[in-house]
Amino acid sequence: MTIDHLLEKLDAASPILQATFGLERESLRVTAEGSLAQTDHPQILGSRNYHPTIQTDFSEQQLELITPVAHSASEARRLLGAITDVAERSIDPNERLWPLSMPPRLTEEEIVIARLENEYEHHYREGLAAKYGKRLQAISGIHYNIELGKDLVAALFAVSGYASLRDFKNDLYLKLARNFLRFRWLLTYLYGAAPLAEAGFYDQDIPQPIRSFRNSDYGYVNDPHIHVSYASLEQYAADIEGYVQAGDLSAEKEFYSAVRFRGQKHNRSYLDKGVTYLEFRCFDLNPFDALGISQETLDSVHLFLLALLWLEDVKEADESLEAAHALNQRVACSHPLTPLPDEADSSALIQAMEALICHFDLPVYYSQLLQNIKAALLDPRQTLSGRLLPYIKNNSLEEFGLAKAEQFHDDAWIAPYALKGYENMELSTQMLLFDAIQKGLNVEILDENDQFLKLWRGNHVEFVKNGNMTSKDNYVIPLAMANKTVTKKILAAADFPVPAGAEFSSIEEGLAYYPLIKGRQIVVKPKSTNFGLGISIFQEPASRESYRKALEIAFAEDRAVLVEEFIPGTEYRFFILDGCCEAVLLRVAANVIGDGRHTVRELVAIKNDNPLRGRDHRSPLEIIELGDIELLMLDQQGYGPDHILPAGVKVELRRNSNISTGGDSIDVTESMHPSYKQLAADMAKAIGAWVCGVDLIIPDCTLPSTQEKPNCTCIELNFNPSMYMHTYCAQGPGQPITPKILAKLFPELE
């Protein structure tokens, strides 16, 4: 059996980069002025007893952000970005997340032990406060968790000569942990970012900046007499158990090594159940990065860890690791621009990285990562602590830290309707993801392109598509709503008002209908499409050529087309959820208003500059196009795209008022007469929809709707109503819809 030289035996095509990752980020909540926040953990984040991603660490002010397991380092960072985004926008508006590992100026009295309901956990923290003091607990960082890929481990096991996969994995992870502690000094050199402590943090005076207080014995470390052996897992477990029994440690988890074995509740269980993954705990927050750690660092560390496997194992583990600890202490406590000591020889590690890249033909990206490491070894100014030096003023980083905290806070609020890292998803889905993370649901994106999510808490699982399509709707109901002919028949049978019209399956059939409508107001629209695509509205009688063009546009979207009477009045969208109207929106068709100086084309461009406007439902309002339908509308009003529009003159670019075709949104939920809200809810019930959008044309909404005189016409039921347009409106307060969807799906959250 051997644990060394295994990587060299693998084929070049082996899955060397296969692994799963998880990140844990600690951050203090501070006020906008830079003092430690004195508020409780945000109530909007729900109970800390079950929240999987946003918890509190030692103190009430110290958030811990935890990613789910990810199958790449980039996805782990993406998840951390989303969780950080939620945290930034969930804390008090006057608070920020402190971007540095070392806290701002504070006193012991300001640090409030986390008010956890679990009596053991609260008592445990009280014991830590008594032993180490509360100030040390305020030091924050990032934990990097990694499990080597199953296929990679299987390939290594196959050439190892081991009989037991469990024993092999234990020895493999033990070797990785030992070599990590042996070369930890390199990570301290490269990524140490805690060069000073603010005045009063330590009782003694440290006269100059160092690379990392957190990664030195000044940090949050065990008492000096705690020595745990890494010679074997048996000795490791026995040593920790001995310290717990003697009262030197209050629990096994109080052993604060830079690396921990993970996957079992108790260390002794690793002997028979095996190590699952490793947790590396030595990463300072990178204050230059909004997430506290860069993608380059994550990938460089992955390369570093693989190189540790390429190298031979540590000999005489206890003595070697004691010397390695002393070397790390020396590197951590050196001035950030001090060259590495002679004992810190990186040549073997660099050669191992080069060999890995060559043997497995890794992408050029990894060669560039290695070049960056080499450059930093030659020039300490390129390390994180070296980069921080210019920002130290009067032996303090508070001004810099507060400026960065403010910058990251502002960035989080630039587009509050979006979820950072997931902007390519449909906006309603982004909003639902944000709320699900905030409320403490577990989230998995099953299909990003199809907007398909899995949400769960405990054993309760829900699948959601497009933000509001769930198991609450019968499968056939969305199909019925997608078919406008079926919708009209169901509503008409229940005595609800719908427009008269006819259905055609070819342009020729539609043209044959022209003599019956040539003097009437009409709407031409696809039978089964959504988002207002392919709709043409003629409030004035259409010429045969214009009618033909409208048919062609509609048939481009569907194989069947409806031609219906045009119903005069104002169109409103009612959002119905579980039999209740939750929001009402007035949608104003895409338009521009002249100023006497700009052409229609220029006015459209000016309006499209609004930051709320975007494409593909990633923004609350859509970009206004100048396509065939818009040009046809302009022509009917006597204008072309290059005409200068007189001041005050309004031209409509669409007859349909869909937000998805450039319309404006106005929230009228509170002002809409309740009779119309009830009517819309009754229509949804008639077709059996749990969620739907009801589009009503109302000539005069000041008049109530009655059974005898509805005073409105239903032109459509929408099986996939966009929720974002009700929340982020061009005018009006907006109505939060996604939290109500989640409350219906998971009533246990309330």
Give me the chain's average pLDDT, please: 94
376 pLDDT higher than 80? yes
294 pLDDT higher than 90? yes
Please choose, from the candidates 460, 428, 427, the residue with its C-alpha nearest in 3D space to the C-alpha of residue 442.
460
Distance between CA 446 and CA 550 in Å, rounded?
39
Mean pLDDT value of segment 185-204: 95
- Report which of residues 568 and 24 the model is more confident about: 24
Distance between CA 425 and CA 281 in Å, rounded?
33
Over the stretch 538-548, which tens digit does the pLDDT of each residue have?
988 889 999 99
Directed axis angle between helix 165-191 and helix 150-158, to 10°?
A: 120
pLDDT at 502: 87
Distance between CA 729 and CA 742 in Å, rounded?
21
527 pLDDT higher than 90? no
pLDDT at 233: 96
Distance between CA 225 and CA 328 in Å, rounded?
18
Distance between CA 47 and CA 115 in Å, rounded?
11
> What separation in angstroms does the CA of 100 have from each of 109, 129, 181, 290, 397?
21, 21, 24, 11, 9
Over the stretch 556-579, which tens digit does the pLDDT of each residue have?
999 999 898 888 889 899 999 999
Split at pLDDT 50, 70, 90, the class of 529 is low
Split at pLDDT 50, 70, 90, the class of 1 is confident
Mean pLDDT value of segment 609-638: 89
Mean pLDDT value of segment 25-50: 95
228 pLDDT higher than 90? yes
Mean pLDDT value of segment 356-363: 97
Where do we find the tokens 């497995």? 360
At position 139, the amino acid (one-letter code) is I
Over the stretch 141-170, which tens digit does the pLDDT of each residue have?
999 999 999 999 999 999 999 999 999 999
518 pLDDT higher than 90? no
Mean pLDDT value of segment 242-259: 95
Mean pLDDT value of segment 82-91: 98
Distance between CA 145 and CA 220 in Å, rounded?
19
User: Considering just the CA atoms, what is the radius of gyration of the chain in Å?
Assistant: 32
pLDDT at 531: 64
Distance between CA 628 and CA 355 in Å, rounded?
60
Split at pLDDT 50, 70, 90, the class of 207 is confident
Count CA atoms closer than 13 A to 205's CA, side-chain side. 2
**Residues 6 or more apart whose Cβ sits within 8 Å of residue 348:** 311
pLDDT at 539: 86
Please choose, from the candidates 96, 103, 63, 139, the residue with its C-alpha nearest in 3D space to the C-alpha of residue 408.
96
pLDDT at 749: 87
The Cα angle at residue 327 between residues 326 and 331, in degrees rounded to 5? 120
Over the stretch 647-701, which tens digit does the pLDDT of each residue have?
999 999 997 777 788 998 999 999 999 999 999 999 999 999 999 999 999 999 9
Continuous H helices in 290-415:
295-310, 317-332, 347-359, 364-378, 384-388, 398-412
- What are the structural domains of the chain? 6-412 (3.30.590.20), 500-565 (3.30.1490.20)
The DSSP bridge pattern shows strands 621-622 and 613-614 to be: parallel
**Under 8 Å between Cβ of 458 and 654:** no
Where do we find the tokens 């009280």? 126
pLDDT at 124: 94
Distance between CA 533 and CA 554 in Å, rounded?
8
Continuous H helices in 494-599:
507-512, 514-517, 544-555
pLDDT above 90 covers what percent of the chain? Answer: 84
pTM: 0.90
**Under 8 Å between Cβ of 257 and 281:** yes
pLDDT at 660: 82
**Residues 6 or more apart whose Cβ sits within 8 Å of residue 575:** 581, 582, 583, 584, 585, 693, 721, 723, 726, 735, 737
530 pLDDT higher than 70? no
